[in-house]
Amino acid sequence: MTPKVARYLAEMEPATPCLVMDVDRVEQNYARLKAALPLARIYYAVKANPAAPILERLVGLGSFFDAASFQEVEMCLDAGAAGERVSYGNTIKKERDIAAAYARGVRMFAFDSEAELLKLARSAPGARVYCRILVGNDGAEWPLSRKFGCEVEMARKLMVQASELGLDAFGLSFHVGSQQVKTAAYEAAIAKVAMLFTDLAEAGVKVRMVNLGGGYPVRYKSEVPEIGAFGDAIMGAMTKHFGNALPEIVIEPGRFLVADAGVVQSEVVLVSRKGEDDPVRWVYLDIGRFGGLAETEGEAIKYGFRTPHDGAEEGPVTIAGPTCDSTDTLYEKSNYRLPLALRDGDKVELLATGAYVTTYASQKFNGFAPLNEIYI
């Protein structure tokens, strides 16, 4: 938690549940990433947190943007971004949304299928397009399965077809999974992309861009490698495979830029046991999986906690949200421990919750309104 956030919570005592976010920290993270990958163009993955103060700050820093929907395209434009700085990176788009983005100046689009390519040819004529290929997600705490991307052989054919359709067959992309803690995942994917570059050049299609996606990890409960290690591994692999003919490098960080800038504060609603001799207490918070903490599904993302009793004796806990739904349980198997002194009414903080929280919040499950958002 940054000192600014800590001070705000202490002085303002905002109603819970709330997210308090230090926008200066986003700027620092942007600078750290720039330093680690100076040759890469940063497209902020807006879906991680689309709040206007974040987008506006990043516009001021010269960032580019990766939008998942036409609504996110509009958020970027509203924040002052030029259309040509926005990539429409979702491979699943309604054709009328493609047309609407194109009309607003967007000129870069992702695809991974022939049907999507035909939509782009019709509704974004001449635009830069890039094909997403399937790569391994081993090492990712929030992996991406086969939903996005296509096999390399299909990508090769589609890129040739893109060119024939009058589109600019601009690049290739992949995504190694979010919260990826292994640098080798990027190295393997770059090798795969490089071979496809060569194949396409032989087919007469001159690809000029590699989009490395996101995935750069953030420190939650456990340590992760420094961003410098990812920068070194990525540039090492790029140089090994492309030599001096480096293509344009695009990265799409989301979590890395915003996660540790934010803290969710929550009130403890109840601490109880299921039987008198039960060693495990249940701690119920006023935010849960349907209040925004969706990435705790399967206990994938393990947030760190702060409580007013830190340092005092701890015991094992199951941590759950406030709704009448059992799936609204955050951590049951991850061996969380919290102070024995914890009581209902206590405020606790969930650390590094600036990414992938606010937008997930259900509109009104069990009648609960989404969390408050405060940007300072």
**Residue 4 CB coordination number (10 Å):** 16
Min separation Cβ 111 and a second copy, Å: 9
Question: Does 372 sit near a second copy (CB under 8 A)?
Answer: no
Question: Does 72 sit near a second copy (CB under 8 A)?
Answer: yes
Min separation Cβ 244 and a second copy, Å: 33
150 is known as an active-site residue: no
Min separation Cβ 148 and a second copy, Å: 7
Question: Does 135 sit near a second copy (CB under 8 A)?
Answer: no
* Size, binding site for a second copy by CB under 8 A: 80
Residues 79-118 close enough to bind a second copy by CB under 8 A: 89-95, 112-116
Burial 35-49 (b: 16+ CB within 10 A, else e): ebbeebbbbbbbbbb
Residues 228-267 close enough to bind a second copy by CB under 8 A: 267
The neighbouring-strand residues paired with 209 are 171, 248
Question: Does 329 sit near a second copy (CB under 8 A)?
Answer: yes
Nearest to a second copy of 48, 235 (CB atom): 48
Shortest CA distance to 34 belongs to which of 257, 191, 220? 257
Nearest to a second copy of 94, 206 (CB atom): 94
Shortest CA distance to 28 belongs to which of 329, 257, 311? 257
Min separation Cβ 235 and a second copy, Å: 26
**Residue 345 CB coordination number (10 Å):** 10
**Do 100 and 77 contact (CB within 8 A), yes or no?**
no
Query: Given its phi and psi angles, is residue 288 left (phi above 0), alpha (psi -120 to 50 degrees) or beta?
Result: beta
Segment interacting with a second copy, rule: CB under 8 A, options 165-173, 183-191, 202-210, 268-276: 268-276
Min separation Cβ 356 and a second copy, Å: 9
The neighbouring-strand residues paired with 64 are 43
Interface mask toward a second copy for 138-167; x: CB under 8 A: ----xxxxxxxxxx-xx--x----------
- For the chain, how far is it from start to end, CA to CA, in angstroms? 13
Question: Does 38 sit near a second copy (CB under 8 A)?
Answer: no
Among 350, 370, 374, 375, binds a second copy (CB under 8 A): 370
**Residue 200 CB coordination number (10 Å):** 20
Question: Does 276 sit near a second copy (CB under 8 A)?
Answer: yes
Min separation Cβ 306 and a second copy, Å: 20
The neighbouring-strand residues paired with 266 are 348
**Residue 15 CB coordination number (10 Å):** 11
Nearest to a second copy of 28, 362 (CB atom): 362
Q: Show the DSSP H helices in 51-111 as ranges.
A: 52-60, 70-78, 95-103
| Residues with a known catalytic role | 324
